[in-house]
Structure 1
């Protein structure tokens, strides 16, 4: 089964609150016949659109191909959290790669946040960008870890936008009885993810990028030049950027062995009116310390947008609302039975060590994927790093690609069952509070 079509109608956005509150762009024509380009970008999410925009600004002829529509995948469905750092915390990165390289990765991550904010401002993207993410915990050990991490960022990295939260301060922000403390990062942010993706697409189009939707790539012939083939056409290009994340499939087996698709789910409640302050007292986002993370924020029209639950097969659950309602009501018991107006799922890519996988698949083929739930900033930056690398400025790309990314054990046949076993164990630990 092809993940591109397992859960979605061809060329149609899912019935999400994001799609309901963002005017779509006029459809881009499907590719017909042959095109010549300097760069062909496969995938029109944050990674591909950022790469295309930065390449076009540098004077390159760029063609973007997407099997559905711009921002159709995880870029238009995620929790909208623009976090600080990498997906892996700095203390763990220091143990993985040493303090010097960990600091370089922190600096890159700070640049990623700055890049998103600068693109929003430069291109006047109306995506409700707001500061602040709280990271919360339910167990005393996890609270201590988060507070210690806030101290590490302040003392070792000179990061002044983070502060620890004790139980009282945490409840003052988020009155959930589940959370006992954590940290607040006001340098992080949250936004409307589909609006941001569509804003990038508009900016890319204005810069001269040629975008083709409903143009599924089924074959890539790496060479000099490379040939990218769809059902109705092909692109001959000097360089290719793979920006498919969880939807890459068989286009690059070496990448697919290291980046595994999983599904995540979000609901939007009915407008809560005056009850919003029983969820959050400030317009920040929240992510908790559970292995299967719960993440949430308030929408600009007063709904709770709550993400929770994962699945590891091809198909989404039959009742997404019921899947997410369970963790939502555990965090907010007072919302038991609240009406859910929208429920949707999305497919993202994860790696074994939860660090993004950037790779040179062939001399003129670059790939970036596996953002593991940290893609708003990292994916946008990865697109720019690939654009820079094509221009000969490889430092940022090389720093990210130097992190070892092992393949998932078990190969294509066994990696999903093995992952399900591991995830089930950690989910059980969450439920038992151990």
Structure 2
């Protein structure tokens, strides 16, 4: 059997992959050309093909090869920034609209799973958990604000209520969101791709775009092909290298890492998280975890802002996991993997147009499982002439990371060190 082209992970080992799609060759004509076969690109492709557009999608590696196939699998309503940040950026009214659309994005994800019979292990429920009294106060204030100003109900669980569902003494309580949840990320990407192919989308893998040629009919160039289209969608996110410098300056790639234990057995796994929810703490350098379908604990919680993999990653992940679940002292981590997420400076979504016929979406800031699907739909609607929602996202102001190409990474590393120290001391 040939080696998997995907980076080794539990996701790659357990997914149901698609056959490889042929690389792009020659001169290709399309109504819409899309760069990137992750959730955003696949979602836009599916929407546009169902509306009658001829869509060609170019992927440098394989479908779901980037963050869409490696992420933590937690699908959460909202964005990478909180609503108070959106209120400061665009005002209360637009912040409310953006949040309501994120709720629609979560429903869109659920609808696509059901409509296209995507087998991706969807599970309901997400808990945000505080470690310190300061965090508990902030979470409770956030819960009340979301209920009163955004009509979004979430339950507060005290420590005993949480302990009835989660076998850890580390946390002081939880805000439980029944509308969010978790899934198998790579299988979800494959499901979207199957739906897109069935709708008539042409997907070319192993076709890295080398250049965007702008014009009345834009062209995406690869080493062996050029795809001419009336519209182009850039959905490369953290992997968009050299194609659109004005986009690259407004995001930073951040390495994020996940471990999967050896199988625990059904009863032992269920004893850890009785209601099968996803869980994330609220530290800046957070831990997040959930159960897999084969009764492993999937535990994420180590980020690298320098783009260099952390040393002794498996050992670090094991220590963090056992800090949450000391009862797993005898359990080994079998898989460890990582990838890049694209963060914007304000953690808000960065979606819009580079040219009248060149669209983009990026800046999901670690919160993209649901919002990427929404981004694809919003861009597809704009291409079809319904641009109200994209225009609202485009009004969110974004600044480039300070320091330029050479200094922005060390400056970000220094800033993140401060936030991590605050988690410990405050």
Q: TM-score range by the shorter chain?
A: over 0.9
1:394-416 deviation line (CA, Å, top 9, x unaligned) = 01111112111111011111110
Aligned mates of 2:275, 2:119 — CA distance in 1: 20
Which of 269, 279, 282 is matched with 1:289 structurally? 282
Q: 5+ unaligned residues in a row in structure 2: which ranges?
A: none
> Are residue 352 (structure 1) and residue 345 (structure 2) matched?
yes
Q: Tell me the residue number matched to 2:240.
A: 248
Q: What SS does the aligned partner of 2:232 have? A: strand
Which of 224, 227, 231 is matched with 2:216 structurally? 224
Q: Tell me the residue number matched to 2:66.
A: 73
RMSD across aligned C-alpha pairs, in angstroms? 1.6
1:378-405 deviation line (CA, Å, top 9, x unaligned) = 1111011111111111011111121111
> Are residue 342 (structure 1) and residue 335 (structure 2) matched?
yes
Cα 1:319–1:214 shift into 2, 3 Å: farther
Q: What SS does the aligned partner of 1:173 have? A: coil
Alignment TM-score, normalising by the size of structure 2: 0.96
Moved more, 342-351 or 268-277: 268-277
Report how many aligned residue pairs link the two structures. Answer: 424
> Are residue 210 (structure 1) and residue 206 (structure 2) matched?
no
Q: 5+ unaligned residues in a row in structure 1: which ranges?
A: 1-8
Which of 239, 252, 263 is matched with 1:260 structurally? 252
How far is the alpha carbon of 1:329 from its aligned partner? 2.1
CA contact (8 A) 2:318 2:332 kept: no
Cα 1:65–1:164 shift into 2, 3 Å: same
How far is the alpha carbon of 1:11 from its aligned partner? 8.0
How far is the alpha carbon of 1:359 from its aligned partner? 2.3
CA contact (8 A) 2:123 2:276 kept: yes
Which of 170, 180, 187 is matched with 2:162 structurally? 170
Structure 1 residue runs of 4 or more that deviate by more than 4 Å after TM superposition: none
1:125-150 deviation line (CA, Å, top 9, x unaligned) = 01111110000010111112112222
Superposed counterparts of 1:409-420, under 5 Å: 409-420=402-413
Aligned mates of 2:403, 2:217 — CA distance in 1: 34
Aligned mates of 1:11, 1:227 — CA distance in 2: 31
Q: Tell me the residue number matched to 2:13.
A: 20
1:31-58 deviation line (CA, Å, top 9, x unaligned) = 1111000111000000000010001011
How far is the alpha carbon of 1:229 from its aligned partner? 0.7
CA contact (8 A) 2:270 2:276 kept: no
CA contact (8 A) 2:306 2:413 kept: no
Q: What SS does the aligned partner of 1:24 have? A: coil
Q: Tell me the residue number matched to 2:296.
A: 303
